[in-house]
Amino acid sequence: MAEVTTPQTTLNAEPQAPFQFGPKPLPTELVPLEQYQQLGWLRQLDLALVRLLQQQGETNPAVLTLAALASHQVGRGHICLDLTMLLNEPQLILGLPPQGREFLAPSLPQHWLQGITLEQLLSGLEASTVVDNDNRGSAPLVLSGALLYLRRYYEYEVEVAAVLTERLQQQFELPEDLPHRLNQLFAPLKDSAENDGSSVHWQSVAAALAARAGVSVISGGPGTGKTTTVVRLLALLQSLALEQQGSDGTGLRIQLAAPTGKAAARLSESLSGTLSAIRAGNVAEIPTEIAELIPAEVATLHRLLGARPDSRFFRHHRSNPLHLDVLVVDEASMVDLEMMASLLAAVPPTARLILLGDKDQLSSVEAGAVLGDLCQFAEQGRYQADTQGFVYRASGYDLSPWVGAGTSLEQQVVMLRKSHRFGADSGIGQLASAVNRGDVDQTRWQLMNSQGDLAFLSPKSTQDSGFDRLLLDGDANGLAPRNGHSAAGYRRYLQLVNEGVQPEQTELQWQQSILTAFGEFQLLAAIREGEWGVSGLNQRIATLLKRKQLISDDKGWYAGRPVMVMRNDYSVNLMNGDVGICLPSASDGGQLRVVFPMPDGSLKAVLPSRLSSVETVFAMTVHKSQGSEFSHTALVLPDKPNPVLTRELIYTGITRAKLWFSLVISDGSLVAEAIRSQTVRSSGLSQRLGF
Ligand SMILES: Nc1ncnc2c1ncn2[C@@H]1O[C@H](COP(=O)(O)OP(=O)(O)OP(=O)(O)O)[C@@H](O)[C@H]1O
């Protein structure tokens, strides 16, 4: 890579004459970008941007430095560089120096910024030809208020805000008897307080609001009834459409989607169960013929939009919109800003878009926290008088405790508040909610007073024998059997692999049983590198399993190796995040194939040599586990403070557990520190929506 030639940004350069931004001069020592890159603090891409700006004639080192930092921020999930936060909390917002590496620090941004005012930064940027002021022109950088954007992200943000605002204008006519219809659909789901109106039944409220406008958001933690609400909402919309269309009507074109194959498969499974119950006549409030018009198939967003290999553009966009009337997107917290912009562009303006997700989970891996931005006041509600009136007329519920001056978008956001999966006796549910509230004492109490579904393990090292027992048999200090089953480790599925196809089974059934058993236990890690990171743990687990003769090798391809696809691979039709297991093929002389479950329930077997980018996943990162659930989930946290240890990460890890959750951490005090720390992602989206 060619050197970045601005003297001020070149390593060991002589100090230059101070550049004057405003009345005060900037310091002569500027941020040493190349040194940052050599230390791994900045990406090559961040410096490439600096070089591009130099080619475009920018010589001002301050503008170049801010550009590199704006690019660095995108790499860290932010949409823009928030200049006010940069001045107030540079270390926190930039993550520089990375925690634990302070001793390597050359001159830091905070030193460079000392004594500089926001006005100085703004006037320097405004004077630059590579920076546009709020979209006037086509410069690579855009300054909007005190937010500095790379143009692409500015455009995504403006587009997302504009399309959401447009969609809010789309109001659907609803029948006079809507209250009666809603009550019929939701009455069986209400408890006595919800029945007599003394407590709000949020599922009814969510359905009423989603029925009336072109966009709505339903946020809720695990098991709060998002899918149940959507099935009833779709039943309502289909019956209204059929009545309107008359005898030749075919109903609405409904499509369901999720960001990853795993999330799509999980929603599809849940929908299939619900729809079969309706078709069997077990759900009296929904006619069986309506269930026929609700699909159980769920596409990944990439497939729905028509991803093209090696291109960030999709087949469907504003000029070639999707053919649908209703689109439901599950696990919307995983949708980054760029994908949200593509999605919104492709949904026809006449359709209803319903976003489902859990606002408290980790945000997308790529830049943006769209669901979090849209739901930042979901708990308070902030419903205006109009909305209150509509909800009262439609459902009979009084939202006055949640009244406020929320934006138009917030009028379409509902938070479901009651978990139907985790009852009052569930340690997992109570732990998740204590972590989410940032309640350190309650978190500690829950971990120490397990109800049989929580375990806390504090190993001295990764070689700890208790940790071995957890990995092999799921045994982590007193997890009680649930539904007649005990918590598993990795031994259970590997025994099935080693026993081979049984006489009473087909090969397909054997493969399926292994994939199911594999889903019974998953180790999650917060970080990638080091002894307590994904890479160290995977090697350590493979060594243990080989020693126990559960796998034949701990390197390369071997029967039982679980792998995750790390990049969309169109040549084999596998998507980033798909997980498969390497198994000998009984019908093909034992040749190894990697067997993946597909969103439609089928299995796909692929030769290992055809998989270009896969990693072993005895341990996977919490980020990669989003959209999945495992009967027993064990979360391993590192033994030293790390900026990735946040409330959202721990909450996401806990809520991947269906029946048992084990926490593994050698220094328990880090848990308190982690749940006090919340992720902040700079973005101007909520401001653009008027929040
Ligand atoms: N109001 C209700 N009363 C009783 N049970 C309910 C109610 N709503 C949903 N359930 C049940 O609670 C369970 C979880 O519901 P559902 O799958 O709809 O939640 P979810 O929020 O979609 O969960 P997930 O976390 O998997 O996304 C299901 O068994 C469902 O039948």
Q: Does 427-555+617-676 match 33-161 at the fold level?
A: no
Query: CA 461, CA 666: separation in Å to the nearest integer?
Result: 7
Minimum mean pLDDT range among 47-51, 185-189, 473-477, 611-615:
473-477
Q: Who has greater pLDDT, 166 or 679?
A: 166
Residue 224 known to bind ligand: yes
Q: What's the 269 CA to ligand 1 centre distance in angstroms?
A: 13
Q: What's the 228 CA to ligand 1 centre distance in angstroms?
A: 6
Sign of CA dihedral 621, 626, 627, 631: positive
Q: What's the 418 CA to ligand 1 centre distance in angstroms?
A: 9
By residue count, the chain amounts to 691
| Per-residue model confidence (pLDDT) at position 592 | 96
Average pLDDT over residues 374-384: 95
Nearest CA to ligand 1 atom 4: 189
- Residue 232 tokens read as 């009833």
- 24, pLDDT greater than 80: no
- 577, pLDDT greater than 60: yes
Q: What's the pLDDT band for 255 if we cut at 50, 70, 90?
A: very high
Q: Who has greater pLDDT, 40 or 194?
A: 194
The domain made up of 33-161 is a member of CATH 1.10.10.1020: yes
Q: Who has greater pLDDT, 547 or 601?
A: 547
- 464, pLDDT greater than 90: no
The three-state secondary structure class of 121 is: helix
Nearest to 454 by CA among 594, 664, 258, 266: 664
Tell me what percent of the residues of the chain surpass a pLDDT of 70: 94
Nearest to 527 by CA among 358, 640, 391: 640
Cα angle: 579, vertex 585, 591; to 5 degrees: 100
Query: CA 583, CA 560: separation in Å to the nearest integer?
Result: 6
What lines the ligand 1 site, CB under 6 Å?
189, 203, 220, 222-228, 270, 420-421
Which ligand 1 atom is at minimum distance from the Cα of 190?
1
Average pLDDT over residues 487-511: 95
Q: What's the pLDDT band for 484 if we cut at 50, 70, 90?
A: confident
Query: For the purposes of burial, counting CB atoms within 10 Å of the CB of 156, is it exposed (0-12), middle (13-18) or buried (19 or more)?
Result: buried
| Per-residue model confidence (pLDDT) at position 112 | 83
119-139 confidence digits (pLDDT tens): 999 999 999 999 999 877 899
Average pLDDT over residues 178-197: 94
Residue 145 known to bind ligand: no
| Per-residue model confidence (pLDDT) at position 12 | 31
295-323 confidence digits (pLDDT tens): 999 999 999 999 887 788 999 999 999 99
Q: What's the pLDDT band for 476 if we cut at 50, 70, 90?
A: low
Pocket mutation for ligand 1, best pick of 185, 195, 227, 361 (most atoms within 8 Å of C-beta):
227
| Per-residue model confidence (pLDDT) at position 452 | 87
Q: Who has greater pLDDT, 518 or 15?
A: 518
Query: CA 199, CA 446: separation in Å to the nearest integer?
Result: 28
Identify the H or E element spanning 252.
none
| Per-residue model confidence (pLDDT) at position 99 | 67
Query: CA 161, CA 643: separation in Å to the nearest integer?
Result: 30
Residue 478 known to bind ligand: no
Which ligand 1 atom is at minimum distance from the Cα of 420?
12
| Domain range summary for the chain, segments of one domain joined by + | 33-161, 177-420, 427-555+617-676
Q: What's the 552 CA to ligand 1 centre distance in angstroms?
A: 42
Peptide bond into 97 cis (omega under 30): yes
Transcribe 101-118 into DSSP letters. -GGG--S-HHHHHTT--H
Q: What's the pLDDT band for 104 if we cut at 50, 70, 90?
A: low
- 569, pLDDT greater than 70: yes
Query: CA 76, CA 198: separation in Å to the nearest integer?
Result: 45
| Per-residue model confidence (pLDDT) at position 491 | 95
The three-state secondary structure class of 17 is: coil
Residue 222 known to bind ligand: yes
Cα distances (angstroms) measured from residue 53 to each of 36, 131, 148, 507, 622: 18, 10, 15, 59, 37
Query: CA 266, CA 378: separation in Å to the nearest integer?
Result: 25
389-435 confidence digits (pLDDT tens): 999 999 999 999 999 999 999 999 999 999 888 876 789 999 999 99
| Per-residue model confidence (pLDDT) at position 582 | 97
Pocket mutation for ligand 1, best pick of 421, 426, 483 (most atoms within 8 Å of C-beta):
421
63-94 confidence digits (pLDDT tens): 999 999 999 999 999 999 999 999 999 988 89
Pocket mutation for ligand 1, best pick of 190, 226, 228 (most atoms within 8 Å of C-beta):
228
Average pLDDT over residues 376-395: 96
Average pLDDT over residues 272-280: 90
Question: Which residue bears the tokens 């034949």?
Answer: 552
Which ligand 1 atom is at minimum distance from the Cα of 330?
27
508-552 confidence digits (pLDDT tens): 999 999 999 999 999 999 998 888 999 999 999 999 999 999 999
Q: What's the pLDDT band for 103 if we cut at 50, 70, 90?
A: low
Class (C level, CATH) for 177-420: alpha beta
Average pLDDT over residues 46-68: 93
Q: What's the 238 CA to ligand 1 centre distance in angstroms?
A: 21
Sign of CA dihedral 314, 319, 322, 328: positive
- 13, pLDDT greater than 50: no
| Per-residue model confidence (pLDDT) at position 100 | 64
Average pLDDT over residues 590-617: 92
Nearest to 514 by CA among 422, 581, 600, 588: 581
Average pLDDT over residues 248-253: 91
The CATH classification of domain 427-555+617-676, taken from the options 3.40.50.300, 3.30.70.60, 3.40.50.2020, 3.20.20.150: 3.40.50.300
Query: CA 506, CA 683: separation in Å to the nearest integer?
Result: 52
Residue 225 known to bind ligand: yes
